[in-house]
Amino acid sequence: MGPLAAALDALPKVELHCHLEGTMRPSTLVELAARNGLRLPTSDPTELYRYDSLDGFLEVFWTVQSALGGRDDWARLAHESLLDSAAHGVVHTEAFFTPARHLAAGQDLASVVAGLDEGLAAAEAETGTRCLLICDMDRAFGPEAGRQLVEELVALRRAGSPGVDRVVGVGMDSTELGIDTRTYLPAYDVAGAAGLRLTGHQGENSPASAIAACLDVLGLERIDHGVPVLDDPELVARMAGERVPITVCPTSNVVIAHVVERLEEHPYPRMRAAGLLATVNTDDPALSDLDLGKEYAAVAAAFGYGWDDMVRIALDGVEACWLDDSDKRPLRERVRSTAARLAPVEV
């Protein structure tokens, strides 16, 4: 690891697009599968996370989800996830979890949330890294299931269910093809009325017009992926002017979604040059042999960014997060002061 990569690994960073299920250690998958009676295609942890297409990736992701049999498993996943991200400079994260398949299989949302909170609280005490949660609707289950999920989450909030105060937002993920984004308005209306923050995956394999619909119809505050935004100059001007965050996952867009063939072809530097609040994130780091330190180093190398460029990206992560301004200020200062101390002599 060179001096820039080492400094980027240690730089305090914010992660805003990471799926907890996509952080599961391969060894943990083997252990949970054995405990829950899940047959894996191989017991060799080094072979578990191999795929050559988006469909292949989804099969792996669904296998990981299937290994989560109950509250203790969710707690272990969350605990290990935060430990692993904190080891690479993540000091604040707003992580997704997608419970639709588990609820359909008979698990209870309250138990899932309580398990996640238990694991995260333990990891926060050990690392000092903070994690908030975003409950994602799985578009493969349709908008009505999404609305029901949000209504159940809101009911848990009203009841003061254990750990639910950690869930600060609602999103949507999974397939975009053939999905009318506007059909999720009832679910987002319920979430917004309850004071939950709003985001959604759009623009991984859908056009810029779908991103615009997320803002105009659903009222989303952040966009996850947002790759084709540059196809609509008016949308770019609007999002840049309003500082609407886009949580970009450059390496994931290459190895998982195959939006581009090489990282150097990714539109991320043009997004930044256009004034967009485009942050850098990992998406599913365990499934792509990644962590946020590696992602920062890869982005710097691919786009010719120096230390100051990457520090600005880290500060934009602070701006884009959902902490109150009173919490953002010390976080910004931490990034700046640590960056001044870590700055490589030559980059």
Q: Which of 88, 72, 91 is nearest to 334 (CA)?
A: 91
Checking DSSP bridges between strand 222-225 and strand 246-248, what pairing results, if any? Answer: parallel
Chain-centroid distance, C-alpha 258: 18
Which residues, at least 6 apart from 89, have a Cβ–Cβ distance to it below 8 Å?
Answer: 8, 9, 10, 11, 12, 13, 292, 293
Distance, in Å, from the CA atom of 194 to the CA atom of 276, rounded to the nearest integer, reads: 29
Helix pair angle (233-242, 208-216), 10° resolution: 40
2 burial class (0-12, 13-18, 19+ CB within 10 angstroms)? exposed
Helix pair angle (3-10, 307-320), 10° resolution: 20
- Contact between 99 and 44 under an 8 Å Cβ cutoff? The reply is no
Report the greatest alpha carbon distance in the chain: 56
Give me the amino acid identity at 81.
S
Distance, in Å, from the CA atom of 150 to the CA atom of 156, rounded to the nearest integer, reads: 10
The DSSP symbol for 203 reads S
Distance, in Å, from the CA atom of 143 to the CA atom of 137, rounded to the nearest integer, reads: 8
204 counts as catalytic: yes
The DSSP symbol for 283 reads B
Helix pair angle (109-127, 143-159), 10° resolution: 60
Chain-centroid distance, C-alpha 98: 11
Q: Name residue, tokens 């330190």.
A: 293
Query: Is residue 93 classed as helix, strand or coil in its secondary structure?
Result: strand
Q: Name residue, tokens 């002017």.
A: 241
Query: From the candidates 94, 118, 204, 295, which is the catalytic residue?
Result: 204
Active site residues: 204
